[in-house]
Amino acid sequence: MLGIYLSMLDTTEEKSKFEVLYKEYKNTMYNYAYGILKDKSLAEDAVHNAFLKLTNNLEKINNIMCKETRNYLVILVRGTAIDIYNQNKKIVPIDEIDDTDTLDLPEMVEHRLERERVFEIISNMDDKYSDILMLKLFYDCSNIEISQLLNIAPEHVSIRFFRAKAKLKKLIMEEYENDRP
């Protein structure tokens, strides 16, 4: 299977990077997909589709052996596995718009918390919100890219990002209030 992915890449550098990612994370991704799908074949399909998506987004990964890369790959396979699950169960998730204040995340990150702490807070959020925030804030993905990676409509990306920002703002404000003397 690795040969198929490598044939889709142009440069030797991309192929080398992808090969290391594949060998390092394929089992983690499979285990995560299997945890959602409870079916070996479907989990393999989810991992395969996630790696196909990765071939188009390889530039998003700078450091292969880090927590952010692992999370990025888990987000890819989780979105793919959930999509497969929904297709098999014929469930279509529908989000509702929530009325909340806007949030200037870069300002909050810069002035109140360090990047690592924000990463930690986001990691503890519900997956459907943390995935969007991680892809937006740490990987600088557009709504269209996120839509393609997670197999959801671009308008759902916007809605989830809006909600995720509101939840993140609340969590940051709570932490900020708790840290004050």
Distance (Å, rounded) from C-alpha 20 to C-alpha 23? 5
Residue 114 in tokens:
């360090």
Q: What does the pLDDT average to over 78-100?
A: 60
> What is the distance between the alpha carbons of residues 131 and 134, in angstroms, rounded to a whole number?
5
The Cβ-side half-sphere exposure at 58, using a 13 Å CA radius, reads 21
Estimate to the nearest angstrom the gap between the alpha carbon of 43 and the chain centroid.
Answer: 17
pLDDT of residue 30: 92
Question: Contact at 8 Å (CB) between 100 and 163?
Answer: yes
Dump pLDDT digits (tens) for 122-163: 888 888 888 888 888 777 788 888 888 888 888 888 888 888
Q: Tens digit of pLDDT for each residue in 166-176? A: 888 888 788 76
pLDDT at 181: 57
Q: Residue type for 8, please?
A: M
pLDDT tens, position by position, 133-142: 888 877 778 8
Distance between CA 71 and CA 29 in Å, rounded?
10
Inter-residue contact 102 to 173 (CB < 8 Å)? no
Phi, psi of 66 (to 5 degrees): -145, 165
Of 5-14, 22-31, 39-48, give the lowest mean pLDDT range: 5-14
| pTM for the model | 0.59
* Average pLDDT of span 59-75: 86
In this predicted structure, the answer to whether residue 95 has a pLDDT above a threshold of 70 is: no
Tokens 């990676």 locate to 149
- Please give the pLDDT value at position 150: 85
Given a cut of 90, is residue 27 above it in pLDDT?
A: yes
> Looking at this protein, which amino acid is placed at residue 102?
T
Percentage of the residues of the chain whose pLDDT score is greater than 70: 81
